Structure 1
Amino acid sequence: MTHQENMLDKYYRGETSLEEEKELKAAVSESKTKSAEQDIFSFYAKESAVPEGLEEDLFAGIEKQTGKGKSIRMRLYSVVSAAAVVLIVLTVFLDVRSKKQAQLEDQFFVMEQALFQMSESLQPEPEPDDMLVLWVDDDVEIIIN
């Protein structure tokens, strides 16, 4: 086995260093016989060359695309964020308001029950002969002694 064949085996196993790869590429390209390695190395050499002005064109296109899309996207994000904040604040406000209303209703009911019990305990037992009932409702009775 020749030195070039040993280097190719080592190259295909991935055991070559950068210097060895450069040496192998130079040896293969200088070889007078046509081989698959010569085609592969020449293909990689052609493809590795970057056309002039490509970098500037790419960056100009990127700037153009990100400038438009970024501003529209940022506006959309800010509008959606503002709407979400308003929705959260409104939800919290309505929840606090409904809890406060329920608490007031509970307090009113407790007060009403306490007043009813006080009025029943303070009223003397009615005497049937002396009482004149003028009007009776579910909650109110008008009685004259």
Structure 2
Amino acid sequence: MTKQNSLFDKYYKGDTSLQEEQEVRELARKDAGYGIEQTIFDYFEREARVPENLEEDLFNGIFSAGKEKKIRRMKMYSFVSAAAVVLILFTVFLDVKKNRRTQLEDNFFVMEQALFQISESLQPPQEQDDMLVLWVDNDVEIIIN
């Protein structure tokens, strides 16, 4: 057992050769007293194995991630484009509505001015309240202040 202990000490110091390391692994597997070492060696042995389709899985993952990003980006562009179109149409609608209202107000103002001028030209001038009209003839008016 001293040979085993010295072999384990040498292993933990990092002075063993590949053949001696193999012996340490075999001793740890056979002897129940080295349960911790056996667990460690089993763990490293399991982790040292490369899965069979690792390269293929990695490439598939990389390419599918790229495709998913592209699809996600295209969906986002579609959504943003649709929102921009709706915003532009809404802005044009509001501008047309504002221009129409302004045009109607301008037309109404022009019409109001025209009607006011027509009514002024058709009605005789209003007399002042302080004046008293005594007599009106075709050619003569008698007014008292």
Under a length normalisation based on structure 2, what TM-score does the superposition of the two structures give?
0.49
Structure with greater Cα Rg: 2
Structure whose residues are more often helix by fraction? 2
